[in-house]
Amino acid sequence: MQVLTFRAKPKYIFGAILCVAGLLVILITFIGNHSAKPAALSGTDVVATDNERAQFLSSFGWEFDSEYTKKTVTIPTTFNDVYTQYNKIQKAQGCNLEDYCGKTVELYTYRITNYPGYQDSDCIFANILVFENRVIGGDVCSTAKNGFMHGFEKQES
C-alpha cells in the first residue's frame, strides 16, 4: 500500500483560498446581474387571447385601456433605416425582427395610462408584435411632439 502525502506551504494555501474567494465573488456578481430578470422577450410569451396580452403588458408594470386596435403588418424583406433603428430596440429586449422578414404579423396597440411623469397619457401607447400567437417584438412610445420609443421595460426617470 502506498501513501501519498504533500506538504503545502502557508503561502500556497493562502493563494488557493484567495483564488477560490475571487471566483466566488465573480460568480455571485454574475448571477446577481443576470438572474434578476431574463430577457424581456424570449419568443415563448404566448399571447393568443386578450387576457394573455393583458398579462404580458401588466408583467412590465403597465396599466392600459382594455380596448385596443389590431392590424396586420408585413415585416419588410429588406430593412430601411427606420426598421434598422426599430430592430435595435427589439434586439435590446431579446428579439430580432430579421427572423420574420417577409412574414405577416399582428400588431396590437394599447393606450398606456400610467406612464411615469405624464399626466395626460392620451398619446402613450404599447405596441405588441405577434406571430403565430407569440410575442416577437414591440415597444412603448409617445406620439406627441418630441415623443419617444423604447422597449417594454419601464425607463428610469
- Which pLDDT tens digits describe the chain residue by residue (157 residues)? 787 776 778 877 776 677 667 666 676 766 655 444 444 565 568 899 999 999 999 999 999 998 999 999 999 999 999 999 999 999 999 999 999 999 999 999 999 999 988 766 678 999 999 999 999 999 999 988 888 999 999 876 5
Q: How far apart are the C-alpha atoms of 157 and 4, rounded to whole Å?
A: 63
Q: Report yes or no: 147 and 36 within 8 Å, Cβ to Cβ.
A: no
Is 63 in contact with 112 (CB distance < 8 Å)?
Answer: yes
Count of the separate structural domains present in the chain:
1
- Residue 17: all three cell numbers together: 483560498
Q: Is residue 41 within 8 Å of residue 93, measured between CB atoms?
A: yes
Which pLDDT score is estimated for 20? Answer: 66
SS3 assignment, position 64? strand
* Residue 125 buriedness (CB in 10 A; 0-12 / 13-18 / 19+): buried
Q: Which helix (H) or strand (E) holds 110?
A: strand 104-112
Does residue 38 lie within any of the structural domains? no
Give me the amino acid identity at 134: R
pLDDT at 27: 62
Q: Is residue 32 domain-resident? A: no
Does some domain include residue 19?
no
- Provide the residue range defining the domain that includes 106: 50-150
Quote the pLDDT of residue 120. Answer: 62
pLDDT score, position 148: 92
Flag whether 39 is in a domain: no
Backbone phi and psi for residue 64, each to the nearest 5 degrees, phi listed first = -160, 160
- 128 in any annotated domain: yes
Residue 127 domain flag = yes
* 25 is a domain residue: no
* pLDDT at residue 100, rounded to an integer: 95
Q: Does 18 fall in a domain?
A: no
